Chains A and B, each alone.
Chain A
């Protein structure tokens, strides 16, 4: 916040209790992000955001499910208030320093990246590193959910939104995207059938002489083959010939079965988290030490099919991102611009005055779902949340991008056009951990709750 800005939340007697709870949550979250920037909620954005009681209770608060009695933000009033006060005292008078005050312990928020507020008070074995995903109470809940004869997908989404324990990711992702059926009795048979279907596609479309392909298909295969070696080039694991071959097959089969878009660069990036996660079922330890040459054909078939189907399911939700002229991306970029204007007017004005178009930087963000903007080690965590969003994913992505951009609100305002383009092209996320990423995701979540019931935020004002 700029010095001199009044805290919009201070002393507003008209706020009802729900608003106050939300604001409390807001404050908690604001304290979380110490580096690299402060959180900005512009005056205007907050005013516009003040949600009605019904807005709040209607909103699908999927995120925090650690409290047995209910979910975090919705009934977080007492809980998070007490923990916030206890752990992250800060002045109510101005939130100017909010971004830096909370330097010792970032886990006080119910959105916390490490444990929930409840977890922190009851779970003495809270891990000092890692994230919520490894919280023992959460792990137990995952186990319970996954062992059910019919997985409750809504419950699983709520859990998975905040991060999935790595060893459960393959199973959880298959369920989240609707590839594996929730019904345990049917699951193996369905997966077996789907995997065979993929193999049949390989036989039918891929393992054929080049002469049997159309010119377009040859062009597509050539393009995919050119791109495979340059997919996530900073992660050497993907350079293994076996990985290259898998990537090419998955992308080609996807492209040939989705002729409206065909292969579009960036989709190669999107396949990589699936490859790593589904291989992790068969290989132990650090992925950089995996010996993929030892994989049996049966394993290759299974993991590759899983990648293909999950990639397909993910892309089903954003099909028009990749069709001619990429209207889906154009639309989301437009929404992002409007949203940023509502949340952070100073930055928005600055960007506009400098003549920077959102399309210039956000196009890649949407085309690659931010995968290129963060370290690869964090991408699976990002995917946990994406896949938990289900049908709401494209809309949520706009909020994520806004939250991501405004992480550097202060810095951006100091830069001119050229500096801004260069800065945004290589945002300083190299040393990011789950904590910074989850901060972005949580803030995006809150903003969506605040704005969702105020559709005017997307009309020009």
Chain B
């Protein structure tokens, strides 16, 4: 990561993982960036990971924000949608509530907070290794993706099935969307910075401050 003498990548993308608590967002990301699977504590607030990949001959720096799923953290996580080129909506195929929350909660969050109108959405059904416990069928996932204009894959962070593919397809689609490639050359220093995280306490005070 050192050596900032010239960009070591052609594009820098900001991706975001969202979805209910416990669906495996952090595990998916860990599998993707480190190819490991581990027991992880629930994410508090937001975690961040980096990965350099080469796709279609282009060197890409992926910056990935992994958000906490619990509702209480939503005011905090909402500031991270800004500027994202891709959003991964994750559910757990063994828990229907995590699937229904995607349309009732998470897509609305994307609508509200995303600043890229062409932002690519990727629907991911995780934990397909637990086939005996599956309650959300693949067809339902496909139907959802069609209705809301998302890419779709089922995967397992545990067995690594489809995990790489899910990030690759998302990134490929971003590469194929010219409007998303503006400002991704990494020239802007703070491209990744979530602008002004929501701060209900400090905001009024800061606003009044004229010094």
Contact = CB atoms under 8 A, between A and B. Distances in A.
A265 B46 contact: no
A326 interface: yes
B13 to A, nearest CB: 13
Interface string B33-61: 00000111110111111100000000000
B193 interface: yes
A111 B194 CA distance: 40
B70 A367 contact: no
A324 B74 CA distance: 10
By CB atoms of chain A within 10 A, which of B63, B73, B201, B211 has the most? B201
Interface in B187-211: 189-190, 192-194, 197, 199-202, 205, 209, 211
6 contacts: A266-B42, A327-B200, A330-B200, A334-B202, A416-B4, A460-B209
B44 A266 contact: yes
A367 B45 contact: yes
B72 A324 contact: yes
A434 to B, nearest CB: 23
Contacts of A261: 72
Contacts of A230: 22, 39-42
A330 B39 contact: no
A367 B70 CA distance: 13
B151 interface: no
A205 interface: no
A265 B63 contact: no
A232 interface: yes
What class of interface size applies to chain A in its complex with B? 35 or more
A10 interface: no
Contacts of A262: 72
B132 interface: no
Closest 5 CB pairs of A and B: A233-B39, A355-B190, A355-B193, A330-B201, A363-B45
Interface of B: 1, 4, 21-22, 38-42, 44-50, 63, 68, 70, 72-73, 75-76, 189-190, 192-194, 197, 199-202, 205, 209, 211
Contacts of A265: 21, 42, 44, 68, 70, 72-73
A356 to B, nearest CB: 8
A234 to B, nearest CB: 8
Contacts of A364: 44-45
A364 B200 CA distance: 17
Say whether chain A's binding surface is mostly helix, strand, loop, or mixed. Answer: helix
Nearest to A322: B72
A331 B201 CA distance: 6
Say whether chain B's binding surface is mostly helix, strand, loop, or mixed. Answer: loop
B194 to A, nearest CB: 7
A363 B189 CA distance: 24
A357 interface: yes
Interface stretch (A56-64, A300-308, A419-427): A419-427
A422 B50 CA distance: 9
Nearest to B26: A230
Contacts of A355: 189-190, 193
Interface string A410-437: 0000001111011001000000000000
Contacts of A232: 41
Contacts of A419: 1
Interface of A: 223, 226-227, 229-234, 261-262, 264-266, 268-269, 322, 324-327, 330-331, 333-334, 354-357, 359-360, 363-364, 367-368, 372, 416-419, 421-422, 425, 460
Contact of A334 (B45, B73, B76, B201): B201
A199 B148 CA distance: 49
A421 B48 contact: yes
Nearest to A226: B22
Contacts of A418: 1, 48, 50, 63, 192
A261 to B, nearest CB: 8
Given A230-B40, A268-B42, A269-B41, 5 more contacts: A223-B21, A223-B70, A265-B42, A334-B205, A418-B1
Contacts of B189: 354-355, 417
A89 to B, nearest CB: 37
B46 A360 contact: yes
A227 B22 contact: yes
B22 to A, nearest CB: 4
B44 A417 contact: no
B87 to A, nearest CB: 19
Contacts of B205: 334
Contact of B76 (A229, A356, A359): A359
A417 B193 contact: yes
Contacts of A425: 47-48
Given A357-B197, A359-B197, A227 B42 contact: yes
A22 to B, nearest CB: 30
Given A324-B72, A359-B197, A372-B41, A226 B21 contact: yes
